[in-house]
């Protein structure tokens, strides 16, 4: 047990390095994600061992008791789309975004992440993505990745999509393959179907997610390719998983219909300007939940590490920002500030994603589930973050950092709760060309 915890927090050694065998969270208002009321949660070996109204009988040493006094505890976020290696690269080589450091995810409440390659699947490849995914695992996160990138034929490590998923533990699907976008490889339906069938079969063989995660661009063809695939093949709808559905209102309306066919559809929590045709993530989620599309087939991801154009009042591109996982925490806060019920919106960040990705011990607070937990304060902000039973954030203080993160700098940057804040370790890529699309 001691060795287990030592291994989980070895990068770097946290300030509280005395191993804790068991943690008892007392008086937690548990949203599992449904509201189950006040509970005590016993945590050990990275999992939820016990969940109950009374306190368990424990005469053990080495137990850490934390009285949450009724504060809300929710499952850690599962971010199904992040450029963990850094994305970008669409405005010269200098615009390649650096890797996203550990605390950028954990401070935002992301306890599980799926890494993807984007437009640049040429200077970046599955090999690099796999290494970064494993680096995040070493640092304590639950991390997976997709093979491939924007383009077909897909970049792979072993030689085929099916082999990558079957033989490489962290690889669970393919993506983000771009459609309806000028940066795509303009794939034909047959090309898409070949990849979709490979990923579906690989999912059957392994029990992994087995999804084709599709980047949707601004193109007018929208989701037509997916409708054609469903109309002409036997492939189950869940294999086709479109993201960025809120980037245009018309695309969003298409996605509402597509979800009724059985597809899970993904909202991206990117910033949306007032004159933009897109929908902010909080608005999009409520619109989805108010529709008659299935409530358990909507998810939200951050696009963290991707490049984001920033425009001034005149619509001129002034700088290039970096997508930040904090946008997930900001979206939940915006929803709750607006009066949304936590149990209504929470599944899109947690249990719905776990269902799609077949992560059976994630996204829920239940006995034997992973001890990936967030505590919310009265202002609907995330005050505490636990990954696998280890506090990475405690009372708003970052406890665990990635290998190359500066503790001092990270504190000042991360405590602002501002998704626009630039991480000091991540230099802003210099903008060279005048027009960049959301990645």
Q: Interface with Zn ion by CB under 5 A: which residues?
A: 176, 215
Which residues, other chains included, contact 252 with Cβ-Cβ below 8 Å and sequence gap of 6+? 245, 246, 279, 284, 287
Burial 46-81, CB ≥16 within 10 A → b, else e: bbbbbbeeeeeeeeeeebeebebeebbbbbbbbbbb
Q: Which is nearer to Zn ion, 43 or 178 (CB)?
A: 178
Nearest residue to Zn ion on Cβ basis: 215
Q: How far is the CB of 270 from Zn ion (least distance, A)?
A: 10
Q: Which is nearer to Zn ion, 213 or 364 (CB)?
A: 213
Q: How far is the CB of 320 from Zn ion (least distance, A)?
A: 15
Tokens of 206: 């392994």
Q: How far is the CB of 118 from Zn ion (least distance, A)?
A: 6
Task: Name the helix (H) or strand (E) containing 7.
Answer: helix 2-8
Report the C-alpha gap between 399 and 195 in whole angstroms: 42
Q: How far is the CB of 175 from Zn ion (least distance, A)?
A: 9
Q: How far is the CB of 83 from Zn ion (least distance, A)?
A: 9
Which residues, other chains included, contact 371 with Cβ-Cβ below 8 Å and sequence gap of 6+? 23, 43, 46, 47, 48, 386, 388, 389
Q: Which is nearer to Zn ion, 179 or 209 (CB)?
A: 179
Q: Which is nearer to Zn ion, 215 or 392 (CB)?
A: 215
**List 181, 303, 372, 384, catalytic entry:** 303
Q: How far is the CB of 181 from Zn ion (least distance, A)?
A: 8
Q: Which is nearer to Zn ion, 29 or 213 (CB)?
A: 213
Report the C-alpha gap between 41 and 30 in whole angstroms: 9
H runs (alpha helix) in 299-374: 326-337, 342-345, 351-357
Report the C-alpha gap between 181 and 186 in whole angstroms: 8
Angle at the Cα of 165 from the Cα atoms of 235 and 404, rounded to 5 degrees: 130
Q: Which is nearer to Zn ion, 49 or 155 (CB)?
A: 155
Q: Which is nearer to Zn ion, 29 or 244 (CB)?
A: 244
303 is catalytic: yes
Report the C-alpha gap between 19 and 429 in whole angstroms: 41
Q: Residue 310, exposed/middle/buried by CB under 10 A (0-12, 13-18, 19+)?
A: middle
Give strand pairing partners of 139.
none
Residue 204, SS3 per DSSP: helix
**φ and ψ of 131, to 5 deg:** -65, -45
Q: How far is the CB of 150 from Zn ion (least distance, A)?
A: 8
CB 304 within 8 A of CB 86: no
Active-site residue list? 303
């Amino acid at each position: 047990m001691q060795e287990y915890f030592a291994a989980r927090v070895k990068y770097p050694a946290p300030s509280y390095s005395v191993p804790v065998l068991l943690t008892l969270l007392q008086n937690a208002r548990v949203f599992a994600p449904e509201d189950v009321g006040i509970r005590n949660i016993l945590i050990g070996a990275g999992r939820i061992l016990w969940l109950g109204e009374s306190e368990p009988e424990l005469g053990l040493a080495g137990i850490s008791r934390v009285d949450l006094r009724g504060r809300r505890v929710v499952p850690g976020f599962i971010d199904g789309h992040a450029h963990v290696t850094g994305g970008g690269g669409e405005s010269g080589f200098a615009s390649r975004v650096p890797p996203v450091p550990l605390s950028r995810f954990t401070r935002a409440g992301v306890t599980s992440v799926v890494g993807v390659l984007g437009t640049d699947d040429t200077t970046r490849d599955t090999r690099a993505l796999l290494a970064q995914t494993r680096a995040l695992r070493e640092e304590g996160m639950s991390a997976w990745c997709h093979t491939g990138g924007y383009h077909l034929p897909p970049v792979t490590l072993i030689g085929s999509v099916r082999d990558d998923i079957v033989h490489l533990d962290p690889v669970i699907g393919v993506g983000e393959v771009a459609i309806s976008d000028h940066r795509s490889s303009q794939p034909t339906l047959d090309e898409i179907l070949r990849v979709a069938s490979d990923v579906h079969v690989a999912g059957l063989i392994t029990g992994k997610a087995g999804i084709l995660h599709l980047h949707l661009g601004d193109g007018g063809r929208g989701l037509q390719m997916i409708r054609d695939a469903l109309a002409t093949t036997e492939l189950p709808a869940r294999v086709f998983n479109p993201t960025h559905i809120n980037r245009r209102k018309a695309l969003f309306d298409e996605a509402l219909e597509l979800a009724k066919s059985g597809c899970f559809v993904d909202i991206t929590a990117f910033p949306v300007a007032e004159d933009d045709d897109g929908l902010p993530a909080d608005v999009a989620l409520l619109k989805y939940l108010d529709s008659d599309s299935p409530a358990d087939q909507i998810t939200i991801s951050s696009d963290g590490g991707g490049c984001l154009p920033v425009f001034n009042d005149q619509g001129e591109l002034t700088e290039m920002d970096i997508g930040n996982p904090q946008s997930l925490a900001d979206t939940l806060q915006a929803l709750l500030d607006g009066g949304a019920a936590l149990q209504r919106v929470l599944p899109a960040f947690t249990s719905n994603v776990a269902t799609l990705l077949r992560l059976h011990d994630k996204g829920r607070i239940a006995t034997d589930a992973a001890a990936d937990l967030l505590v919310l304060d009265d202002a609907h902000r995330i005050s505490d973050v636990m990954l696998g039973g280890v506090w990475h954030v405690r009372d708003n203080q970052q406890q665990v950092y990635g290998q190359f993160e500066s503790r001092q700098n990270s504190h000042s940057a991360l405590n602002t709760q501002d998704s626009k804040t630039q991480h000091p370790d991540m230099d802003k890529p210099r903008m060279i060309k005048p027009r960049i699309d959301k990645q």
